[in-house]
Amino acid sequence: MKRFFALSAIVCSLTMLAGEADFPSFESLKAPVLMPENPKISIARDGNFLINGEPRYLIGTHYYDGMNAGYAPTPGYPESLKWLYDAPLDYKNAQRIGFDTLGVHASDTWIKKLNPAYRSFLWGKGEEEALQSLLKVCGEPVYLDYSCFPWTHGVLANDKNAKLISPDAKNHLSGGKNDGNHWMAYSANSPEGRSLYFDMWRSGAEFMVKNGVHPFIYELFNEPDYNDWSPYNRKLFVERLQKQYKSIDELNSLWHSSYKSFQEICDFSRQTENPALHVEWAKFMEDSFVQLCSDGIKVIKEVDNNPDVGFCVQPMIFKGTNVNSYKLSKIMNRISSSTGGGSLLQSHFLRSIADGKPISDGETYTRSSYNTFRDAFWTQYARGFNASYIFKWDKRAWDKDWGKNEKTPEGGKKVAEIFQYLILNPYAVPTESITGIMGAKKEIMAVSDLFTPRDRGIKHEIAVLRSYPTERVSPAKGALNHNFIDDYSLALDYSHFAIDVIMEEQFAEGRQDRYKVIVAAGVDAVYPETPAYLEAFVKKGGTLILGLEALQNDEYAFARKNNKFPIIVPGKELAPEISTLKSSWTELKDLKAAPYKEFKADSSWTVLASINDSPVIYSKKLDKGQIIYINAKMPVDSLGRVLTSILTDSALLPFCRTIDAMKGVPASDIEIHPNIACI
C-alpha cells in the first residue's frame, strides 16, 4: 500500500465556458455527477454527508419568499433559458445546473392565527401553492430556513398598539441602532415571546411534513443576534446574579465596583458601564438563546419524527455576537458557518466544534464570473465544508426598478447596481458564469473519493487559542486585541503549518493533549482555570507561544490576582517605532517590526530577538516544555517567518514550502490544504 500527499491549492482556471445555453441535458448526466433522486442520506464518522452510502460534498441554493412575483419574465436572456430564469427549478433542471440540494424559506402563514388580516410582504397570493409545487418536483434533499425577517416571521413586533402580542413578547431593543440585535423580533425568555417562536417552528415543520417532505436540515435562525433589555429579562438577570454570587459584597469585590444591590446593577442604562456587567449580560444572552434553540428542536421533533433530521443556526458574523457557536454546537447536530462562509480561521474553528457533524454555509457568495463561482465552491470544499448554498437565487422581478409596466434592460441594470449578488439577474451575473457551478462540481466529484473526508490523515500538532473571555470583554474596553488571532492564524496557514483552533472551554476535556504547540495571540482575558491548564500543558513538554498579550487579566478585564503563570504583565502600549528585528535566526535578516508594550523580563527569560537593543521575543524553559513571548507587531508575512523559525527550532516543519522563484523568498498569501490518501 502506497501513501502519497496531494495538495489542493485555491487557484484560478484559465478556461472560461462561453455561451448562454451551455448547460448539459439531463439525459447526458451520469453518476457520480448526477445526484440520485430522493436519496438516502446518512452521516459518516468524520461528518461527511453520505448519499446512498457514498461521501459527497453538496452544492445547492435556497428559494426565498416571493417565488411567484420574483421569477416573472424579464429581459436579458433568450426564450430557450426561460426554464432557468422564469420558474423554480424541478429535479431535472436543478441537475442541469449542478445542484444537489435545494432550500426553502418557511411560510409565515402562522401569523394569520393572530392577525387574520395579515398579508405577507412577499408571501402573498399563490405562494403556498408555489412552494407546494416546488416540493413535489424537488427530488433533492431539502434545507428549511426559518429567517425571522421583520417583514415576515418577525412582523408581529411591529404592532405598535400591542393589540396582537403583549409587551413582554417583544424584543425591546429590536430594530434599534447598534443594539446587538439582528432578526430576533421576540423575547427569547418570556412565555409569550417563546410561544411565537414555537409557532413559527411548528408551523414550518407541519407544512413540510404535510407535503411529504422531511427536511434534512432545519435552520432555526438565520443571522440572529440576541440582546434584549426588557423588564422581564432584567428580572431574570437579577435572579441569575443572586444565584451566582453569595452577596453583593462578593460581586463588588470581583467586579471592582460599588453597587448597593443586585437590582441597581440590573437598572443599567449602558451595558458597558462596567466590564464585568457587560460580560455577565453577554453570557446571559448567550445562554438564553441556546435554551430557546434547545426547546425549539423539541418542538420540531414533535412534528417531524425523522430520527436523522439535522438542526443548525446560521450566525451573522464570526465574532462579537451573543450567539455563541461553541455552546450551540453542544445541542446542534449540524454546524453552520456565518454568512458567506467566513475566513480561513473560521473554518478551523468550525472543524474544532464539529467533531463528526456536517459543516455547511447557507449563504455562499460567488460574485459574477465563471472562475469566481468555481473558486467559491473549491474554497469551501478544501476548507472542510460539507455543503454550500448559493446566495441569492433570485432576480427581484417584482422590484419597481425593473420598470413599472414593462421590464426593461435599463431597469435590470439599475437593480444590478444595487443588488450585485442576484444570480438570476443577467445584468448582474452573466449566464455563462452560472455554468461555473457544474464546472466546480465535476472537478470536485473527480477527486471526491480522495479528498471529501475532513480527516485527511495529516496530523495537526499546532492549535490556535480562541478565547471567548477576550472576545466578550473587548467591546467593554474598546479594544481590538481579540482580533490578533486573525494575523497569527493566517501567518501559520500561509507558512503551511496544519493548524486547529482550540477554545478555553475545551481544556477540561483534555483536548490540548492532541498538540505540541498552542498559540495564544491577543489573549489577555481568560477564565480562572485556563492558566493552570496551560501551565500543565507546558510542563508536560508543550510549547506555548504568547502573541502580544499574555493571559494577564481575568474574564472581566481586571488583573489576575494570582498570576503565577506565565508571570508576564505587559505594560503601557508603545508608540509604533518600526525598525529591524535582530536575532540569531539568519532567515529573518532585514525583517521589520515594532515593539508592542512595555515589559521587563527577569533573568529566567532568554532573549531571542530585539529591536534597537530592546528585547521583544523571549523564551523560558519550564520542566519539559517552554514559553515563547512575542512582544512585537509585524505584517502577516513577517510574522509567518518568525513563527516558522520558532517552530523549526522545536522540530516542527511546514508540510510544504512555496517560494517566489523570481525573488528567492517565501511566496506570500497562498492557501494550501494538505491531503493524504491510500491506494
Predicted pLDDT of residue 13: 35
Specify the amino acid at residue 58. L
Helix axes 275-303, 231-244, angle to 10 degrees: 110
* Cell triple for 602: 527577569
Predicted pLDDT of residue 162: 59
Rg (CA), the chain: 27
CA-nearest of 37, 102, 105, 58 to 358 is: 58
Q: Could you report the per-residue pLDDT of 31-66, keeping only the tens digit for each?
A: 999 999 999 999 999 899 999 999 999 999 998 877
Dihedral sign of CA atoms 321, 326, 330, 332 in order:
positive
Using CA atoms, how far residue 397 sits from 64, 121, 416, 422, 429, in Å, is: 13, 14, 11, 11, 15
Predicted pLDDT of residue 637: 93
C-alpha span between 181 and 284 (Å, rounded): 14
Burial status of residue 258 (CB atoms within 10 A of its CB: 0-12, 13-18, 19 or more):
exposed
CA-nearest of 639, 464, 655 to 545 is: 464
DSSP string across 26-66: GGG--TTTSPPSS--EEE-TTS-EEETTEE--EEEEEEPS-
C-alpha span between 356 and 48 (Å, rounded): 8
Q: Could you report the per-residue pLDDT of 158-170, keeping only the tens digit for each?
A: 876 557 899 999 9
CA-nearest of 297, 373, 286 to 333 is: 297
Predicted pLDDT of residue 3: 33
Residues 6 or more apart whose CB falls under 8 angstroms from that of 169 comprise: 156, 186, 187, 190, 192, 193, 195, 196
This prediction's pTM = 0.94
User: Which residue, chain included where needed, has cell 480562572?
Assistant: 528
DSSP string across 70-105: HT---SSS-GGGHHHHSS---HHHHHHHT-SEEEEE
User: Which residue, chain included where needed, has cell 438563546?
Assistant: 289
Burial status of residue 10 (CB atoms within 10 A of its CB: 0-12, 13-18, 19 or more):
middle
Q: Which domains does the chain have, with CATH numbers?
A: 24-140+338-455 (no CATH), 462-678 (3.40.50.880)
Burial status of residue 579 (CB atoms within 10 A of its CB: 0-12, 13-18, 19 or more):
middle
Helix axes 248-255, 275-303, angle to 10 degrees: 110
CA-nearest of 115, 104, 113, 178 to 146 is: 104
* Cell triple for 454: 475532513
Find the DSSP H helices in 215-274.
231-244, 248-255, 262-266
First to last CA, the chain: 6
Distance of CA 265 to the CA centre of its chain: 33
Contact assessment for residue 400 and residue 415, using Cβ atoms and an 8 Å cutoff: no
- C-alpha dihedral (18, 20, 26, 27), degrees to nearest 10: -70
Distance of CA 261 to the CA centre of its chain: 39
Residue stretches of the chain with pLDDT short of 70: 1-21, 121-124, 160-162, 174-178, 676-679
CA angle in degrees (0–180, nearest 5) for 339-292-49: 50
Using CA atoms, how far residue 387 sits from 56, 100, 301, 360, 577, in Å, is: 9, 9, 23, 5, 46
